[in-house]
Amino acid sequence: MTATRLPNDLFPPVFLAPMAGITDLPYRTLVARFGAGLVVSEMVASQELLSRRPGTREKAELGLGVEGTAVQIAGREAAPMAEAARMIAGQGARIIDINMGCPAKKVTQGASGSALMKTPDHALRLIEAVVAAVDVPVTLKTRLGWDDEMLNAADIARRAEAAGICMITIHGRTRCQFYKGRANWRAIRRVKDAVEIPVIANGDITSPRAARRALDHSGADGVMIGRGAQGRPWLLAQVSHALYGTPEPRVPHGKGFADMVEEHYEAMLGFYGTELGARVARKHLGWYMDTAGTPAELRRAVLTGATPGRTVKLLREAMTADRALVAA
């Protein structure tokens, strides 16, 4: 089967990883503003998607119709996966990504995510169904394997390519590693050697230097950055500048950093509503304060602010203090 080609404008090949509860619309927008070749939505279960049928906010959350955005879906049955893919493609999704890498127990116990690596024949039926259902590019994100005894990413990648997948991202750990230890970038090379489609390296890419080493070790065509960008939405643009010569981002410091954090916070309140938005924002605010080196007492005050106004006032103090030197 011939794969639908990826858009030519997915450059630089430095992509934002899908992260549940993190890569929502406000955060993707912020990262994209600094610069990213592609941003990926939070994973959405195909059955859940079909049951709630995206409304206006959900369409924005998924990034339907937004250039440079992929929508990631997960599931364990071919028919719902295909129907979900068909629905979101019909509503404007530019790229659909299939999740075969999530290690969370609530996902793998439902035979989804990285659990599909244990049943590659079944996984291929899902892939074939999704590819056949849509005319947009379909990509795949997976891990090296289920555990050290089942390192089958290269075989799955080869079969996925034959089924029409046009790009594969490999997190350099097994499912049973979760996020422990170090990502094995060298092991990704086996996948790169097995296929002709682009291969993207993921895992522990926290700096331009790490990104360069990941490419050298893996032979991959690009990198995907997840946790390394928490509290540093400019990181992808820094990596792109170092590796591909794109414009160097202006990393915010002092008042500029405070302005960026406040803008992100207010965007979350506006998107989710005040009560939910304040809860969703806490993890981001914590990461920003980690970056700024905020003292524990002030950090607690920010995260327990009684009102958004109080939180913003404390954020300003936390972000603009002399010690708030942003790590580039």
* Residues annotated catalytic, as ranges: 102
Residue owning tokens 């920010």: 302
Residue 182 is encoded by which pair of tokens? 């170090």
Residue owning tokens 């912020």: 30
**Per-residue buried b or exposed e for 266-303, using 16+ beta carbons within 10 Å of the residue's own CB:** ebbbebbeeeebbebbeebbbbbbebbebeeebbebbb
Taking CA 28 as the corner, what is the angle to CA 23 and CA 31, rounded to the nearest 5 degrees?
Answer: 120
Residue owning tokens 């103090």: 317
In Å, what is the CA distance from 2 to each residue of 72, 122, 131, 133? 21, 20, 10, 14
Among the listed residues 143, 222, 153, the one whose alpha carbon sits nearest the alpha carbon of residue 181: 143
Contact 202, 191 (CB under 8 A): no
